[in-house]
Every structure is written in C-alpha cells, then in structure tokens.
C-alpha cells in the first residue's frame, strides 16, 4: 500500500531522513517510533509529499507520488488523510463545517456532503455535537472530529502524527480504540508516529524504529489490544498509584 524506496530528505546539509526503504502493507497499522529528532514526523510527511524527498521514490497504492503533476497529486491526496497532535481544527467553524471542509476541498458533490458529514461524525460517535464549536469540546472529542474530517473522502491511508500526545491516558486509549475501529471496519491502512512505546504496542501490527533519520529495525508486534480504561474515579487512583498516568 505504501512503499518508500531509498528516500532521503535533507534540511540544508542535515540528513533528517536517510536512505529509507520501507513497505507498509494494505490494512496494516504501522508504528514509527524513535527519540526526538529521529525523523519520525518528516518520514510521515514524506508519505503524502508534504515533505518532498531529495531523492528516492514514494508509492501509494501503486501510484508513484513523486512522479505526479500538481493536479494529479491533489487527486491522489484525497485518499490520504492526516491527523495531528494538536488537532488543527478551524476555531470559528462548527464541528459539521470542520468535517465538510475536507469534502469542499475535494469537490465532493454538494448534494451528498451533508449526509457524508453526518455519516463520518456518527462513526466517531459525535453526531450530536455537529453544531458545536471546537472550543466547546474536550481534547478527545476534538481529535475525533479531526479523524472524521480525515476520513471524509473515503480515505485509504490515515497518517497520524502523535495523535494522542496531547491527551491524558484514558482519552488516549479512547482515541486508539477509534483508530482500531477505522482500521478494522473501514480497512484503512494506518501509519502512526509516537514517542510512546505503550501507544505503539497497543494497536500497531508492526513498528519501525528510527534512529538519526535511518531505519534501525522493523519489528512485528503481537496483538495486545488497547488498554481497557474506565472513567471510574478508582481507575484514576489506580493509574496514579501505578505511576502510569501521563506519558511513558
Ligand atoms: N523544516 C525543517 N527545517 C529544518 N530542520 C528540520 C525541519 N523539519 C525537521 N527538521 C529537523 O529534522 C530532524 C527530524 O525532525 P522530525 O520532526 O522528523 O523528528 P521527530 O522524530 O518527529 O522528532 P519529535 O519527536 O521531536 O517530533 C530534527 O533534527 C529537526 O530539527
């Protein structure tokens, strides 16, 4: 589904990503993990050509992104969604309008937009929040809106850049469950950047460890499932006592 062939990206003389060859299979959840500055976000952004490689090729679904003209690239990008640590919602637009933006930009037929927006909001469990504004939502709800927006164009690939890093442990587990549902029910291939080992272990099938812009190793992960959480006060106490509340 995603193929990177000897991809290199430099900033000046600094090699942020160096000679990376990697294949992510259709239907896979693939983690990218590594220390700060290892090149995780740059590698993710290369996958939809938000970063242009200095050398190497990038294929999505057999299509060589690096060979496309602007209009063709815009078309190819419709099937690639992206979500971010800080959600990137438009503050003065409602939840409904935030999701619709993706459809407007993709020239989705106007008559079908409203139904598609509601279908996506229902999928992430937020249909009753359609007329609210981002400021009225919790962090987890904002990330759900961002997921709905990223899926609106019948997305085949979802790129996730630290999607849970701004969230507490319970909300983080909720978002990981939504991503798992996106993968299982919609068959979307997911690439997930995280600096948290637990996040990658909980939902990824395989993970690539990056070090100084290069692949250190790609490993298979045994399914461990998303950690069960509850909103009961005792679960907060348990996690606090175990020291597991917050980032690893
Ligand atoms: N636009 C840019 N201009 C110059 N240097 C950049 C740019 N983007 C990234 N870098 C550098 O490239 C390296 C890799 O950055 P990247 O954001 O991909 O790392 P990361 O593994 O995602 O780190 P973090 O977990 O801290 O976000 C870093 O040293 C960073 O400073």
Kindly report, residue by residue over 33-44, the tens digit of the pLDDT: 988 899 999 999
Please give the distance, rounded to the nearest whole angstrom, from the Cα atom of residue 191 to the centre of ligand 1.
18
User: What does the pLDDT read at residue 154?
Assistant: 82
Write the CA distances from 105 to 18, 56, 153, integer angstroms.
Answer: 33, 29, 10
Q: Is 36 in the pocket of ligand 1 (CB under 6 A)?
A: yes
Ligand 1 centroid to 246 CA: how many Å? Answer: 23
Is pLDDT above 90 for 240? Answer: no
pLDDT at 248: 36
User: Hey, how many other C-beta atoms are within 10 angstroms of the C-beta on 52?
Assistant: 11
For 165-191, write each residue's pLDDT tens digit.
999 988 999 999 999 999 999 999 999
**Measured CA distances, 27 to 62, 92, 183, 220 (Å):** 15, 35, 7, 15
Find residue 32's DSSP bridge partners: 193, 208
Question: 18: number of CA atoms within 13 Å, CB side?
Answer: 12
pLDDT at 185: 96
Top CATH class, 2-79+156-242: alpha beta
How many other CB atoms sit within 10 Å of the CB of residue 135? 9
For range 114-123, the mean pLDDT: 96
Residue 41 Cα to ligand 1 midpoint, Å, equals 7
Domain borders along the chain are: 2-79+156-242, 94-154
Binned at pLDDT 50, 70 and 90, residue 120 comes out as very high
Comparing CA positions, the residue from 182, 152, 190, 178 lying closest to residue 2 is 190
The answer to whether the CB of 195 is under 6 A from ligand 1 is: yes
The whole-chain average pLDDT of the chain stands at 90
In the structure, what pLDDT confidence band is assigned to residue 225 with cuts at 50, 70 and 90?
A: low
Pocket test for ligand 1, best of 7, 40, 192 (most atoms within 8 A of CB): 40
More confident residue, 222 or 95: 95
**Cα(130)–Cα(147) distance, integer angstroms:** 14
């Amino acid at each position: 589904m995603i193929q990177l062939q000897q991809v290199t990206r430099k900033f000046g003389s600094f090699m942020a990503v160096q000679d990376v060859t990697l294949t992510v299979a259709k239907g896979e959840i693939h983690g990218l993990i590594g220390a700060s500055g290892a090149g995780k976000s740059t590698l993710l952004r290369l996958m939809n050509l938000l970063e242009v490689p200095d050398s190497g090729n990038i294929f999505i679904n057999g299509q060589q992104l690096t060979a496309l003209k602007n209009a063709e690239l815009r078309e190819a990008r419709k099937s690639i969604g992206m979500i971010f640590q800080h959600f990137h919602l438009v503050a003065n637009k409602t939840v409904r309008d935030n999701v619709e933006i993706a459809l407007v930009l993709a020239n989705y037929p106007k008559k079908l937009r409203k139904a598609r927006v509601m279908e996506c909001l229902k999928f992430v469990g937020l249909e009753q929040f359609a007329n609210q504004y981002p400021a009225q939502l919790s962090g987890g709800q904002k990330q759900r809106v961002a997921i709905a927006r990223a899926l609106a164009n019948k997305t085949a690939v979802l790129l996730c850049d630290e999607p849970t890093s701004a969230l507490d442990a319970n909300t983080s587990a909720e978002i990981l469950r939504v991503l798992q549902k996106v993968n299982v029910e919609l068959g979307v291939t997911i690439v997930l950047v995280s600096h948290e080992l637990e996040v990658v272990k909980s939902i990824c099938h395989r993970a690539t460890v990056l070090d100084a812009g290069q692949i250190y190793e790609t490993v298979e992960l045994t399914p461990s499932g998303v950690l069960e959480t509850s909103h009961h006060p005792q679960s907060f106490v348990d996690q606090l006592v175990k020291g597991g509340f917050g980032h690893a």
